[in-house]
């Protein structure tokens, strides 16, 4: 009896892990298709909930990334932790 319960629990954990990996890949693909793949990282905190991190050079890019991710199947909430930095005008 314990063996069947243990197998079921591991199967449920494996399915959850696969679901979370699939969600991350769909989110990454959406950003790549929109040309926003550079400087961002996606972590799935739990099924349906992701965290977006990275550095961008404008608030519009941060907002656009979040808007794109809201349309990805399976994403229910986004913790957008992307940092907006102003490029140094004389930097090279």
The domain that contains 74 carries what CATH number? Answer: 3.30.1340.30
The count of other CB atoms within 10 Å of the CB of residue 69 is 22
For 75, the token pair is 């994403």
Q: What is the mean pLDDT of residues 39-50?
A: 90
How many domains is the chain built from? 1
The strand pair at 83-84 and 49-56 is best described as parallel
pLDDT (tens digit, 9 = 90+) per residue, 2-26?
Answer: 577 777 778 888 888 999 999 999 9
pTM of the full predicted structure? Answer: 0.78
Assigned domain for 89 exists: no
Assigned domain for 46 exists: yes
- Determine the Cα–Cα distance for residues 66 and 69; give it in Å rounded to an integer: 5
**CA of residue 74 relative to chain centroid, distance:** 11
């Amino acid at each position: 009896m314990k063996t069947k319960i243990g197998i079921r629990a591991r199967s449920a954990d494996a399915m959850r892990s696969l679901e979370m990996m699939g969600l991350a890949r769909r989110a990454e693909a959406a950003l790549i298709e929109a040309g926003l793949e550079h400087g961002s990282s996606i972590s799935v905190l739990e099924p349906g909930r992701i965290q977006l991190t990275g550095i961008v050079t404008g608030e519009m890019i941060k907002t656009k990334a979040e808007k794109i991710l809201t349309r990805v199947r399976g994403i229910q909430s986004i913790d957008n932790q992307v940092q907006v930095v102003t490029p140094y005008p004389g930097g090279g």
